């Protein structure tokens, strides 16, 4: 999937140039699994992307595939990690912290790829989300802070995974995107 994102960005760059709108930067975004992919791509491949990534905005994206973020459901995690990486990872391997399980988990966890050059990020999470639980947001914010990456956390106190119960937070998320666009897009003419 990361290769597909790469190809899409390259196509956007080529097509917009053909249409007379040369694109110099992009922002990437996603919700839930899309948020996961936006972060994983930006943090693990952003430096080599066909267009520079100015910032990431995501809602309820899984950030870490260690059991503490998932309520210790190692059965579901072993299935997901195996499916996402194509490598067999068992519950026992996860519980034991086996090196192969750790490598697989880190390969698909955006959290493991955050560094000082990661793009600025807007995080939106529901405090009542039982699928992508609050530890995802907490760990992301801690890692971004530790690496000096600008980020904004918007918590939806009454919302679950769909973020439907806090319209004021939805408005704050939209405003944050506009603020980041003004702040992080380079508006100098080519």
DSSP assignment of 74-139 equals HHHHHHHHHHHHSS---HHHHHHT-HHHHHHHHHH-GGGG--TTPPPEEEEEETT-SSS-HHHHHH
Q: What pLDDT, on the 0 to 100 scale, is given for residue 186? A: 86
Q: What pLDDT, on the 0 to 100 scale, is given for residue 189? A: 59
Q: What pLDDT, on the 0 to 100 scale, is given for residue 190? A: 56
- Taking the whole predicted model, whether its pTM rises above 0.75 is answered as yes
Per residue of the chain (190 residues), give pLDDT as tens.
999 999 999 999 999 999 999 899 999 999 999 999 999 999 999 999 999 999 999 999 999 999 999 987 889 999 999 999 999 999 999 999 999 999 999 999 999 999 999 999 999 999 999 999 999 999 999 999 999 999 999 999 999 999 999 999 999 999 999 999 999 998 765 5
Q: What pLDDT, on the 0 to 100 scale, is given for residue 130? A: 94
């Amino acid at each position: 999937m990361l290769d597909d994102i790469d190809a899409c960005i390259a196509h956007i760059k080529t097509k917009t140039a053909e249409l007379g709108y040369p694109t110099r930067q992009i922002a990437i975004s996603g919700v839930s699994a899309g948020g996961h992919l936006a972060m994983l791509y930006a943090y693990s491949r952003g430096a080599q992307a066909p267009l520079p990534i100015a910032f990431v905005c995501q809602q309820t994206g899984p950030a870490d595939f260690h059991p503490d973020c998932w309520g210790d459901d190692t059965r579901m995690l072993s299935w997901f990690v195996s499916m996402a990486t194509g490598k067999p990872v068992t519950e026992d391997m996860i519980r034991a912290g086996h090196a192969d399980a750790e490598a697989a988990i880190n390969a698909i966890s955006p959290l493991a790829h955050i560094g000082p050059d990661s793009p600025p990020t807007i995080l939106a999470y529901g405090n009542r989300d039982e699928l992508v639980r609050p530890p995802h947001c907490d760990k992301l914010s801690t890692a971004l802070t530790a690496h000096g990456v600008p980020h904004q956390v918007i918590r939806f106190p009454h919302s679950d995974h769909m973020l439907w119960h806090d319209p004021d937070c939805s408005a704050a998320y939209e405003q944050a995107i506009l603020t980041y666009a003004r702040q992080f897009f380079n508006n100098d003419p080519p």
